[in-house]
Structure 1
Amino acid sequence: MDRLTSMSVFIAVVEKGSFVAAADVMNMSPTMVGKHIGFLERRLKAKLLVRTTRRQGLTEAGQLYYEHCRRLVRDADNAEALVNALQATPVGQIRITAPYTLGNHVITPLVTRFLKRYPELRVEIMLADRKVDMIEEGFDFAFRIGDIMDEGLVARALPDYEMMLAATPEYLATYGSPETPAALKHHHCLGFSQREGGKFWQLIGAEEETGSPMTPRLVVNSGEGGRQAALAGFGIVFQSKVILERDIRDGTLVRVLADYPPPTRPLHMLYLPQKEPVLKFDAFSAFMLEHLYKRLTALSAL
């Protein structure tokens, strides 16, 4: 017999005062009620109930066991309720990681919208421009730019991560707008120290196999730093559409060499394979895939 069911039957007998009343509550026969009580007494090697023709009472062992049974059954019911709630409404915490620029400009704003939809959820975001070990560091989702190696993870492809060249209208009015990648050598180019050593820019359609060489006067290891230098009119910046979008849309920056775009880079959302569906993960995955496609597709039109 199932011990937890037998405990529930025992509680019903104590609280209802008879096998017959307990049988009605438990939707079983009085004989079956007696079998459950007998099962517990044999297991415990102790008498739980004292029955006479006029009344039924608890032994000392029965009183102690009844109090513990009530707590155990209540805890089991609460645990089931929590699991059922988990399946009905997403609850709990989700840990995600993403690169700085993508995380600041795209992922975090979308996560705030996600949390407004699901108020029982909590999200922790760690931004890092490095390959994070999801299992070792305990992350549920990772957004990664670049090629994906076989790591035993589920990889959902997103629209490619796109880069662009841009400068202020004032800078271009002063120095002219380059018409070919070769003309970049005559311009102030803002280098990014985390990309190709900051010594050339790979552009589609450029004649040079290794890209367009340039000697930057200013090299910054931050996308935002390069953006600020470009906004100050110092030169042409090579950065992601994600970080330059607002400036391009309001005309503060103007796209340069639009006919020679930088190669795109693959972008994926990664997560661990799940043996069973987990509502909070399913909700997050569906929401982010839907909204990231819209967000990144809109960037492609820049």
Structure 2
Amino acid sequence: MDRLTSMSVFVAVIDKGSFVAAAEAMNISPTMVGKHITALESLLKTKLLVRTTRRQGLTEAGHIFYQHSRRIVGDMTNVESLIQSLNFAPVGMIRVSAPYAFGNHILVPLVTRFLKQYPEIKLELVLADRKVNMIEEGFDFTFRIGDIMDEGLVARALPDYELMLAATPDYLAEYGTPSTPEDLQYHHCLGFNQRESNKFWQLIGAEGEENIPVVPRLMVNSGEGSKQAALEGFGIVLQSKITLEQEIRNGRLVKVLPHYPVPSRPMHMLYLPQKVPALKIEAFSSFIMEKLWPRLTALSLL
């Protein structure tokens, strides 16, 4: 006999006070109740119940077994209820990985709105400018900038990750405003040493992509750091529109060479394939995709 079922029957016998009442509660016959109790006593090699014609009582072993069985059966009931609830309402924990700038400026505001809409969901957002291993690190979603290799993941395309050149009005007033990419050689250019190359900045001109040689006087391994250097009037920065958006909108930075755009990079939301995704996964995917598209599309007009 199934041990957990027998434990459930035993707990019912004690809680209901008799084999007959337990049989009614478990929807089985009193004879079957007796077989479950006998099976447990045979397994444990001890008596659990002392029965007479008028009453039944627990042995010392039966009392100990009842206390533990009641907890185990209760825990199992709670687990079953929790698992079943996953099929009816979005609940549980979601772990998400995203790059720093995208996570801080774009994703965090959307995530807070998502959690307000789904109060039974908890979310952990890990910001890191690296490629995470979703399975080994236990992530449900990751946002990735750049080309996607075939990793057996579901990839939902997002608007491209766009970059731009910018500087403060005071810097441009002092050093002049570049009118062609070649003019950058006469300017202070702020390097970002997480890029593949800081010796060249790639721009798109009338004849296609151009590699413009630059010699950065200052290199910073943080997009926020290079932006702050630009805000100090130290030079021209090449950074994502996500990082520079607020400063461009409030006029602290202005676009440089706007007619020579920087090549964009693809961006995707990735998650593990599932035959029947949990409701929390479907809820997050639908919500984020719905909100991200207009947010990133508006950003592309910057």
Fold-level match, TM-score > 0.5?
yes
Does residue 296 of the first structure (1) align with residue 278 of the second (2)?
Answer: no
Does residue 199 of the first structure (1) align with residue 195 of the second (2)?
Answer: no
Equivalent position SS for 2:205: coil
Does residue 216 of the first structure (1) align with residue 211 of the second (2)?
Answer: no
Contact between 2:204 and 2:210, CA under 8 Å: does it hold in 1?
no
Query: Deviation per CA, 1:95-114, whole angstroms, max 9, x where unpaired?
Result: 33322222222223333333
Partner of 1:14: 14
Contact between 1:181 and 1:206, CA under 8 Å: does it hold in 2?
no
Deviation at 1:202, TM superposition (A): 1.1
Deviation at 1:146, TM superposition (A): 0.8
Q: Which moved more, 1:200-209 or 1:162-171?
A: 200-209
TM-score of the two chains, using structure 2 as the length reference = 0.83
Equivalent position SS for 2:204: coil
Contact between 1:165 and 1:238, CA under 8 Å: does it hold in 2?
yes
Show structure 1 runs of 5+ residues with no match. Answer: none
Partner of 1:160: 160
User: Could you say if the C-alpha distance between residues 66 and 291 of structure 1 is closer, same or farther in structure 2, counting changes exceeding 3 Å?
Assistant: same
User: Could you say if the C-alpha distance between residues 125 and 70 of structure 1 is closer, same or farther in structure 2, counting changes exceeding 3 Å?
Assistant: closer
Partners in 2 of 1:190 and 1:140 — Cα distance?
36
User: Could you say if the C-alpha distance between residues 126 and 31 of structure 1 is closer, same or farther in structure 2, counting changes exceeding 3 Å?
Assistant: closer
Question: Aligned AA for 1:15?
Answer: D
- 1:121-200 to structure 2, matched below 5 A, reads 121-200=121-200
Partner of 1:24: 24
Equivalent position SS for 2:97: strand
Equivalent position SS for 2:203: coil
Contact between 1:206 and 1:212, CA under 8 Å: does it hold in 2?
no
TM-score of the two chains, using structure 1 as the length reference = 0.83
Partner of 1:258: 258
Deviation at 1:92, TM superposition (A): 4.5
Partners in 1 of 2:191 and 2:15 — Cα distance?
79
Partners in 1 of 2:171 and 2:69 — Cα distance?
79
User: Could you say if the C-alpha distance between residues 102 and 60 of structure 1 is closer, same or farther in structure 2, counting changes exceeding 3 Å?
Assistant: closer
Show structure 2 runs of 5+ residues with no match. Answer: none
Equivalent position SS for 2:197: helix
Question: Aligned AA for 1:194?
Answer: Q
Partner of 2:111: 111
Deviation at 1:240, TM superposition (A): 0.6
Question: Aligned AA for 1:257?
Answer: L
Partners in 1 of 2:92 and 2:15 — Cα distance?
36
Question: Aligned AA for 2:131?
Answer: K
Does residue 71 of the first structure (1) align with residue 64 of the second (2)?
Answer: no
Question: Aligned AA for 1:142?
Answer: T
